[in-house]
A and B are shown apart, each in its own frame.
Chain A
Amino acid sequence: MVFLQLFWTYFKIGLFTIGGGYAMLPMVYSEVVDGMGWISESQMLDFIGIAESTPGPFAINLATFVGFSVGENLGGVFIGLLGAITATIAVVLPSLIIIIIVSILFDKFIKNKYVQGFFFGVRPVVVGLVLSAAATVLFSVVMPNVDFTDLANSSWDINWASLALTALISGLFFVKIKGKRLHPIFFIVIGAVVGILIFGVFDLEKSIM
């Protein structure tokens, strides 16, 4: 039963991911984190970090991870692998089918006014949705007690250690070496190293907050 849910959830996510990679995040939020509760928000963020530093598109990697953890919760490593296979196939299947059909009908598909109209509507909306995911994630790291659905009763406490690290990494983001931006893995490694120092070794959070 859980496997059917896993398949259906990821089939939907695969079907509605338009614009690739990070465009999948809003759906993962609504369906996997809020909807099914299969992983927590912080598990999702941790895994984005891992997926960015391993080969392969991170959206597919995230599906494999969720499938694995759902399966493992049910009954160990083997069921976990089955879950990983289920979620990975489900997330790839919609686009596999659509691409093959579209490759056959290329010209008609691209020029069709309804197809064009659909994407005209969807493209900016995807930007808004990923922006929403970005805002949610930013606040969960910097001001963890803000609730967007209940702003009046939210606490606006700032986690200064996280804010400083986020600011440091966003500064590094603009650094260019030989005209090229630094690779995402570099930011992840910096995050991990500084994270161990400020949250592990010195435990800055308690002394500041």
Chain B
Amino acid sequence: MKNKDKKNSLWDVFLAFFKIGLCTFGGGYAMVSVIERDLVNNKKWITAEDMMNMLVIAESTPGVIAINSATFVGYKRAGVLGGIVATLGAVMPSFLIISVLSYFILAVQNNIWINAAFRGIRCAVVILIINAVIKLSKPIKKTWLTVLCIVIAFVLSTFLEINAIYIILGSGLLGIIYYGIKYRKMKEVPTETANQDEKKEEE
């Protein structure tokens, strides 16, 4: 009986995230708001507080935010298997659609009309990427230190073409050393005080 329940809930998790994956265009935060409506307000699979924790985790771990939140909710609902099933469910719809599309795109890529359309689309994509830069920079507190980091990363990547992975690893390492010295007497940095500290520095 219990086994059957477990199977059912795994299937529910898969279906719920398949639907979410199918309905979110543009990914990222679009998917997060659907999760909030479907799974927090309607199905009550996770609490609003869990949802907040989830966003913190999804933003501060590697990977795409939408998929990370799916993994987290699935895990909360049905354990490790739930996490895996939710991830599969969320990825599946776009995987199927993109596989079919890829086939057609590769087949028609030398057509002059398609080419003309894509040359126009590239102009739109430029704007979308610039928008992503603005969005990503919003939550970061602008101190001389963070602005310096942004500029150095830009120069290293643009003019010296250093691999982005090395730049990320290096900056993470420097951050660890910086916090290690700054908070050398503490074992843990409570997130709120960490933020308040930075606010004080700004003032």
Residues of A within 8 A of B (CB): 12, 14-27, 29-31, 34-35, 42-43, 45-61, 64-65, 68-69, 72, 77, 80-81, 84-85, 88, 92, 94-96, 98-100, 102-103, 106, 108-138, 141, 148-149, 151, 162, 165-166, 169-170, 173, 183-185, 187-188, 190-196, 198-201
Asked whether B189 lies within 8 Å of A116 as measured between CB atoms, the reply is yes
**B 75-106 binary contact with A (CB < 8 Å = 1; else 0):** 11000100110010001011101110111011
Instruction: Assess the A21–B189 pair: CB atoms within 8 A.
Output: no
> Is residue B178 contacting chain A, with contact meaning CB distance below 8 A?
yes
For residue B157, which residues in chain A have a CB less than 8 angstroms away from its CB? 26, 128-129, 132-133
| Shortest CB distance A197–B (Å) | 8
| Chain B 139-164: CB-based contact to A (< 8 A → 1; otherwise 0) | 11000001101111110011111011
Q: Which A-B residue pairs are the 9 nearest by beta carbons?
A: A195-B120, A121-B175, A56-B94, A95-B63, A117-B179, A128-B153, A57-B27, A200-B116, A191-B124
CA distance A170 to B171 in the complex (A): 32
A20–B64 contact, CB under 8 A? Answer: yes
Q: Given B124, B151, B161, which contacts A188 in the complex, CB threshold below 8 Å? A: B124
Q: Are B126 and A141 in contact (CB under 8 A)?
A: yes
Q: B175: shortest Cβ distance to chain A, in Å? A: 2
Q: How far is the CA of A126 from the CA of B140 in the complex (A)?
A: 11
User: B103 to chain A: which residues have CB within 8 Å?
Assistant: 68, 72, 77, 80
Instruction: Please name 16 pairs of A and B residues whose Cβ atoms are closer than 8 Å in the assembled complex, sorted by A.
Output: A17-B63, A45-B122, A53-B25, A55-B24, A99-B83, A113-B187, A127-B136, A128-B149, A128-B150, A128-B152, A134-B130, A134-B132, A149-B159, A149-B160, A170-B130, A193-B120
Near A by CB (< 8 A), chain B positions 28-74 give 28, 31, 53, 56-68, 71-72
Asked if A127 and B133 make an inter-chain contact with CB atoms under 8 angstroms apart, the answer reads yes
Minimum distance in angstroms from B63 CB to a CB of chain A: 3
- Is B1 an interface position by the 8 A CB rule? no
Dominant secondary structure of chain A at its interface with chain B? helix
Interface of B is mostly: helix
Name the one of B93, B123, B178, B188 contacting A162, with C-beta atoms under 8 angstroms: B123
- Decide: B25 and A185 in contact? CB cutoff 8 A: yes
- State A134–B134 Cα separation when bound (angstroms): 11
A127 contacts which chain B residues (CB < 8 A)? 133, 136-137, 140, 150, 153
Asked if A103 meets B62 with Cβ closer than 8 Å, knowing A111-B188, A162-B123, A196-B116, the reply is no
Q: CB-nearest residue of chain B relative to A64?
A: B98
Query: Known contacts being A46-B105, A121-B175, A131-B154, is A14 close to B120, with CB within 8 Å?
Result: no
Chain B residues, Cβ within 8 Å of A48: 125, 128-129
A191-B123, A199-B120 known; 13 new pairs, CB 8 Å cut-off, are A17-B63, A50-B105, A65-B98, A95-B71, A99-B61, A102-B57, A116-B191, A124-B171, A125-B153, A128-B152, A166-B127, A170-B127, A198-B116
